[in-house]
Structure 1
Amino acid sequence: MLNPQLILLFGGLGIALLLAVAAFSGPSAGKEGARRLQQVRFRHSDSAVDKVEAQYRKAIASRTPRAYRVAGSASRTEALALRLHRTGKGWTLSQYLYASLGLGLGIAALIFLKSGSLLLAIPAGVLVGAGLPHMVVNRAITKRANAFVTRFPDALELLVRGLRSGLPITETLGVVASELPGPVGEEFKLVTDRIKVGKTMEEALQDTADRLDMAEFSFFCITLAIQRETGGNLAETLANLADVLRKRAQMKLKIKAMSSESKASAYIVGALPFIVFALIYWINPVYMGKFFVDERLIIAGLGGLCWLGLGAFIMAKMVSFEI
């Protein structure tokens, strides 16, 4: 009869191997060939629509965040610093690392003193130390991003009114920075400050787009880039963009309302094992205390947590929609 610990070990190794193969297998040859054929068609086409689409793709390619262009460990450090900056809280990289290390060591020490098992204390410390600060940062980024997206159409309409009144685009950016509160005003204030110290408007907007990494602001930057290449009425273009962003926000709210029932079910199903474990441990701590001392139960519990996390990840992807 096979040892259950060996089954769990080889099962975990197999899953890790499959994930590594999927991560490093590279792009599909068929998709790469289709992409190259599409580039050739755009390059030699006389259609105005194809030319605009080519400019659009070129602008998107040039706006890849710098933190992800550099390979190696420095890029990961820059990416983490960029995420901390997006929170708008003024958190530094050293504060984040100290908080993660302190939480991990504290949780590991408490569990080791409670159970005396390093096999349980180390994974729990790593999980809490790496996961909890990451969740807090994600929540702060999401909150600030939602506040930015909510007020960004108002900023575009203010830009439209300024352009129609005869003001240049740089002056209207300053008006938005002074009139709108919150993240929108702060980001436009940084743009105008960079322009004042000698940067071009495109470079200032590029820096903000790299830092924010939001589709809405990228649409705004790409719209300005295409308008500079093809010409046209900038005020009308920005007015249309503001209308598109408002409709996009409405669609997001509709999807959120339609998927709220599924999300509530996922939260309940995911919380039930922990609630049941806490209730039984409160009623009979000796019975459930074996999970902290018996190595077989510790391995079984960690395996159950892994499968529970995989199920929560799949359910989260099922109710997550990109617009």
Structure 2
Amino acid sequence: MTLQTLIIAVGTILFFVLVALAFAGPNTGKATTRRLGAVKIRHSDSADARVEQQMRKVVAARRPLIFVDGQHINYIDKLRLRLAQTGKKWTLQQYLYASGGLAFVIMAILLLKGVSFLVGVFSGLLIGAGLPHMVINFLMARRIKNFSTNFPDAIELLVRGLKSGMPVSETLSVIAKEIAGPVGEEFKLVVEKIKIGKSMEDALQETAERLGTPEFQFFVITLAIQRETGGNLAETLASLADVLRKRAQMKLKIRAMSSESKASAYIVGSLPFFVFGMVWMINQEYLAGFFYEPRLMIAGVVGAVWMAIGAFIMAKMVNFEI
């Protein structure tokens, strides 16, 4: 089987799979049940129903954001949400232009170096789509980590404000001014939404859905439960701050215990590429067949796929969710 035949076969199979996914809509029975449940919870006056609604939103935030409150979110909206979670003022057009420009530059460089057209196009598309995605993931993780680190301090500041007799809305304004970084930015947005007429619960819930962090969801649930059941809000938030700090300590402990396994995975995953690069620098003719010989190209792609599967499995083995 030639390389062209293999590419045509894979492309045909991928085309029919995409067509099937495009025309296969969601299960109507499950969608109807989900909407009826959402309407029932939304119009219920009981405290249990409101708590259940908040817990459903927490579960939706922990999963990939495909359904939130029964509303379907397409991939364009998911990409906009990811860009918003980075904290940068990047637009969707800027992201697409950067990805397309990077893909074109990589493809042009490889084609000028004498690489075959198929390898150049595939490498350009892979790097153009993958590298910006990795950068967005890195910025999202860094901002969420910074937010989770400083969020208990914001809760303790809220507790001190409540004990001194300040209302919750005024204390949120103090947090927005005193806490720097992502915490202050998010609470500033909450305060601005409250000033333009939104309720505090809706403003906080919108922020929780945009952040997607369980820590902020716990905070929103605590305020909702306290508003329905009553009680000392300052003591409840103080307990929440203590739980979040212990949760962060547990994460650090797990990270330290799994650091050896992660280092081994990084070494095993990067060693073949490192050896390939070193051999390429010493003797390019020895490895040049991987860029024009069909059998070597197929072997290289299969090897890279299997290595990606192994790296994915190792990453899941050392990834613990608290």
TM-score per shorter chain, which class?
0.7 to 0.9
Aligned length: 298
Paired position in structure 1 for 2:272: 273
In the superposition, relative to structure 1, how do residues 212 and 159 fare at CA in structure 2: closer, same or farther (>3 Å)? Answer: same
| TM superposition score normalised by structure 1 | 0.83
State how far apart, in whole Å, the 2-side matches of 1:202 and 1:217 are: 13
In the TM superposition, 1:29-48 aligns within 5 A as none
Residue identity (%): 56
Paired position in structure 1 for 2:51: 56
Paired position in structure 2 for 1:287: 286
Q: CA deviation at 1:56?
A: 3.1
Q: Write out per-residue CA displacement over residues 123-147 of structure 1, whole angstroms, 9 at most, x where no aligned residue.
A: 2112101110000011011111111
| 1:158–1:176 CA contact under 8 A, matched in 2 | yes
Q: Write out per-residue CA displacement over residues 85-138 of structure 1, whole angstroms, 9 at most, x where no aligned residue.
A: 111121111111011101111112222232341221122112101110000011
In the superposition, relative to structure 1, how do residues 61 and 255 fare at CA in structure 2: closer, same or farther (>3 Å)? Answer: same
| 1:266–1:312 CA contact under 8 A, matched in 2 | yes
In the superposition, relative to structure 1, how do residues 310 and 11 fare at CA in structure 2: closer, same or farther (>3 Å)? Answer: farther
State how far apart, in whole Å, the 1-side matches of 2:321 and 2:48 are: 21
Paired position in structure 1 for 2:320: 321
State how far apart, in whole Å, the 2-side matches of 1:67 and 1:4 are: 37
Q: Secondary structure at the match of 1:115?
A: coil
Question: Tell me, which stretches of 5 or more residues in structure 1 are unaligned?
Answer: 44-50
Paired position in structure 2 for 1:93: 92
| 1:163–1:235 CA contact under 8 A, matched in 2 | yes
What amino acid sits opposite 1:250 in the alignment? Q
Paired position in structure 1 for 2:260: 261
Q: Secondary structure at the match of 2:88?
A: coil
Q: CA deviation at 1:68?
A: 4.1
Q: CA deviation at 1:61?
A: 2.2
Q: Write out per-residue CA displacement over residues 196-250 of structure 1, whole angstroms, 9 at most, x where no aligned residue.
A: 1111101111121121111100110011111111111111110010000000000
Q: Secondary structure at the match of 2:89?
A: coil
- State whether structure 2 residue 226 is matched by structure 1 residue 227: yes
State how far apart, in whole Å, the 2-side matches of 1:53 and 1:309 are: 45
Question: Tell me, which stretches of 5 or more residues in structure 2 are unaligned?
Answer: none
Worse overlay, 221-230 or 261-270? 221-230
In the TM superposition, 1:1-323 aligns within 5 A as 55-62=50-57, 64=60, 68-69=67-68, 70-71=71-72, 75-323=74-322
Q: Write out per-residue CA displacement over residues 60-99 of structure 1, whole angstroms, 9 at most, x where no aligned residue.
A: 2256468744436xx2111111111111121111111011
Q: Write out per-residue CA displacement over residues 154-209 of structure 1, whole angstroms, 9 at most, x where no aligned residue.
A: 00011111111111111111111111111111111111111111111011111211
State how far apart, in whole Å, the 2-side matches of 1:291 and 1:114 are: 14
| 1:170–1:192 CA contact under 8 A, matched in 2 | yes
Worse overlay, 121-130 or 53-62? 53-62
| 1:115–1:292 CA contact under 8 A, matched in 2 | no
| 1:103–1:125 CA contact under 8 A, matched in 2 | yes
Q: CA deviation at 1:3?
A: 8.4
